[in-house]
Each structure stands twice: as structure tokens, then as C-alpha cells.
Amino acid sequence: MLLASLWGNQVDLSLWPVDESGRSARSGEQHAEDRLILDDAPAASAAFLNSPQPRSLQVLVDNAGLELVYDLVLADLVLSRALAERVTLQVKFHPTFVSDATRSDVSWTIDQLLGDSDPHVTTFACRLSAFLADNRLEITNPVFWTTPLPLWEMPAELSAELSQASLIISKGDANYRRLLGDRLWDAAIPLHQILTYLPAPLLALRVIKSDLIVGMSPDKIKSLFRRDPQWMINGQWGMMQAALKTFRTLFG
């Protein structure tokens, strides 16, 4: 489901036009085997499952639509299998880019799933509604996510909320840029050396749509440019990159 949630990030109306002919050609098998340039998901999953209970998951949501459905399936998986006591979806107070997910998008999506003709889909939506009712699934929308500030300038109350997470999952290119302060770091710097300000471990699920990247060797980057000169901006390549050594783990 982490892989599905990652590739759901290709459905981004700020990158692709509305008409189907102009969208990225997607092939799950091809992407899974050939277009994933970094996969820290096993290490992040192990760290999450080995963290002290009760566990909780924070998801920094990106786009509404199909990507949000994938995120809801991921939340359902975590809660249904009792992998965590709570999943929190951090959505936008209002859209910054055209398809940013908001609280109303989550409600509308669940309503649409409840009205689906497939009983498996409606059963899934009923579970989501139950999780919302008993606060195991939470939707929060701090105004901070609509500001241009880097994540290290998050307000104290948001940092305190994220500090309760066993793992933070960051979705999409814009959130990745926010993690890096939208700055061109040396690409070889490990992600965790930048994110020491984070109060919890993080896994970034990102379809690459901009020329910011860290944790990559020069040889790897040269190899990718030989394969695809547009790999940093064409939305055809993905990464699951972890920063598990945070301020909390380094300094307690």
C-alpha cells in the first residue's frame, strides 16, 4: 500500500491537464520495478512496527482524487490490522495548488465510496466512517500547510502534534520541497542530516516533479540523466525516502 500511495501521487492536476490524453502514462508494474529510484519503505516499516505501543501515524496529505483514495486505503489497512491506534491525515485549510486535498474533500470522497455499487467499496467506506466516529482516524487542517514556510518553521503546537507520531508519512513533491526549505542542497547529503528538526521519524513518498533531491550519489544521478534527461520534472520517477534519525532519536 505504500507503493500504491506513492504512485497515486502522479494524479496531480497542477502537473497534468484535465484531458486524459495529456496525462502521464502510468504502469504500476513498470514503475514498481524500473521507476522507483530509492526504496526505504522496508526500513521505515520495520522502525514503525518496532516502535513502542501505542503507535500512531501522521500522513501529510497531498492531492484529492485518486491519490486521496489510496491514502484512505493505507489508513484503513493500518487501523484494520491494529498496526496503530490512530491515523491522522494532515490536509490543507484551503487549496494552494489546484488539487490539494482539504477536509471537505475527505468527507466527499468517503460519501462517494459509501454510494458505490461494489459492496467491497461500501464496506471499506463504512469502516472509514466508523474510524472517524471513534477518533481512530482524524482529519486536521492547520493553516501552516497553506503558508510558504519551510517545515522547520512549523508552530510549536504542530510540532507537538507530530511528536506523538511513531512515523510521519510525507506525500508528494510540494511537501518534499517544504522539508528541504525549497533549497538546492548538495544532492549527496543524507536526508536525516537535514531533518534533525523533525520530532518523529519520516518516510517521504514522492513522485519527482522538481529539481530538488538529497540522499543520492553523483553516480546515481548521472545514471538517471543518461536514462531520462527529464527525470527530475516529468513525474515518471518515484522515491520512498526515510529519515529515521530525527532530533528525538538522536538526542532523546
Cβ atoms within 10 Å, residue 134: 9
DSSP classification of residue 59 = E
In the chain, DSSP assigns E strands to 36-39, 56-60, 86-90, 137-140, 167-171, 202-207, 238-243
Residue 17: the pLDDT is 58
Q: Which CATH superfamily is domain 2-12+25-251 in?
A: Uncharacterised protein PF01937, DUF89, domain 3 (3.40.50.10880)
- Whether residue 251 is predicted with pLDDT greater than 50 in this model: the reply is no
Query: With bands split at pLDDT 50, 70 and 90, how would you rate the model's confidence at 11?
Result: confident
Residue 217: the pLDDT is 95
Using CA atoms in the order 180, 182, 187, 191, what is the torsion angle rounded to 10 degrees?
A: 10
Residue 191: the pLDDT is 96
- Whether residue 14 is predicted with pLDDT greater than 80 in this model: the reply is no
Residue 148: the pLDDT is 92
Residue 165: the pLDDT is 96
Q: The C-alpha cell of 185 is what?
A: 542542497
d(CA 71, CA 206): 13
Nearest alpha carbon to residue 204 among 217, 191, 193, 222: 191
Quote the distance between the C-alpha of residue 55 and its chain's center. 18
Quote the distance between the C-alpha of residue 1 and its chain's center. 12
> Residue 87: beta bridge partners?
57, 137
- Whether residue 38 is predicted with pLDDT greater than 50 in this model: the reply is yes
* Unique residue bearing C-alpha cell 518523529: 200
pLDDT in tens, 88-134: 999 999 998 889 999 999 999 999 999 999 999 999 999 999 999 99
Beta carbons of 140 and 146 less than 8 angstroms apart: no
DSSP classification of residue 8 = G
- Whether residue 252 is predicted with pLDDT greater than 60 in this model: the reply is no
Beta carbons of 202 and 247 less than 8 angstroms apart: no
Residue 97: the pLDDT is 83
pLDDT in tens, 137-147: 999 999 999 99
Sequence spans of domains, the chain? 2-12+25-251
Nearest alpha carbon to residue 95 among 105, 85, 80: 105
d(CA 183, CA 148): 13
Lowest mean pLDDT among 30-39, 60-69, 199-208: 30-39
Query: With bands split at pLDDT 50, 70 and 90, how would you rate the model's confidence at 10?
Result: confident
